Amino acid sequence: MIINNVGYNHCHDADFFIDRPHGSGDNLLLILRTDAIFTIDGVDILVPANSFFMYKKGRPQYYRCVPSHVFANDWIHFDFEDNEEDYFLSLGLKYESFVHMDNVCFFNYCIKSIAYEAYSSNIHRSSTIKFFMFLMFNKISECNIITNFNKNDNYYEMLSTIRNKIYSHPYEKRTIDSTAHEVRMSKSNFQQLYKKYFNITFMQDLINSRIQYAQMLLLNTNLSSADVSKHCGYNYYAHFERQFRQKTGLTPFQFRNIKKSDNFHD
């Protein structure tokens, strides 16, 4: 994840507009604090305040304030690296399609924190920024799902609790069978609904949570790779190393050395 520029709580007068026929040369993430009008393929769309909107690199960017109203937003110009864009899309998020958010203050805080890290001399700022970005993507995806499903759906509530558990406690021993039993569902129904609600299989989500946790431990502790494996719920190091390499393209040892070197030279 490469942050090119970031702005927090920017406010503009009623004559504000953006007109970039060829885009900005990177991806543009916006968190709108006010209503705004976006022109997409020649069609004007009113996007409400407290919404997420993102342009893909190379796409035209046309947006402006609502007539006689001010415009305020938070924004990040950035580039994806490696398979980061694949993860973004796997969450069911789309470019040039807004997602309304109830708790927009959380996202404002994330962007404020990214802005602080981006201009700081913190040695772990690159990994911290990446974690904030993926945290936002995960939570925006959840907001998107909530708008598409009834908030009173009992199955959704139960599976959301499970998902929160695997990301807050990735080291817990879990299988499809044990987790399906936990929510009193059949194995097949559990897997079908999990994929339906979160656009990812349970096992893929569990692996993602463990690998993200492993990355944090590798960068911020002196634990050996074998110990990191155990702390992430793996019984066998070879299994952990294989999944880690599949997700990152690196062994745990290579990841630690390369990323720490990158942070040192930032």
Domains 2-147 and 149-266 fall in the same CATH topology: no
Q: What percent of the chain has pLDDT over 70?
A: 94
**Can you give the pLDDT at residue 49?**
87
Range 197-226 average pLDDT: 90
> pLDDT for 88-108, tens place per residue?
998 888 999 888 887 788 898
What are the sequence ranges of the domains in the chain? 2-147, 149-266
112 CB contacts (<8 Å, ≥6 apart)? 8, 9, 74
Highest mean pLDDT among 13-17, 143-147, 168-172, 181-185 belongs to: 181-185
Which of 258, 224, 220 lies closest to 240, judged by CA?
224
Range 58-82 average pLDDT: 91
- CATH code reported for the domain at 2-147: 2.60.120.280
* Predicted confidence (pLDDT) at residue 265 exceeds the cutoff of 50: no
* Predicted confidence (pLDDT) at residue 147 exceeds the cutoff of 90: no
**Can you give the pLDDT at residue 266?**
43
Phi and psi angles of residue 43, each rounded to the nearest 5 degrees, phi first: -110, 130
Q: How far apart are CA 101 and CA 236, in angstroms?
A: 40
**Can you give the pLDDT at residue 152?**
47
* Predicted confidence (pLDDT) at residue 66 exceeds the cutoff of 70: yes
Range 192-213 average pLDDT: 89
Pick one of 3.40.50.150, 3.30.465.10, 1.10.10.60, 3.30.1490.110 as the CATH number of 149-266: 1.10.10.60
Which of 42, 142, 39 lies closest to 96, judged by CA?
39
Tell me the pLDDT band of 142, cut-offs 50, 70 and 90.
confident
Average pLDDT, the chain: 88
**Can you give the pLDDT at residue 73?**
92
* Predicted confidence (pLDDT) at residue 151 exceeds the cutoff of 70: no
Q: Which residues make beta-bridge pairs with 74?
A: 31
DSSP-H helix ranges across the chain:
84-90, 104-118, 125-148, 154-168, 176-182, 187-198, 202-220, 225-231, 237-248, 252-265
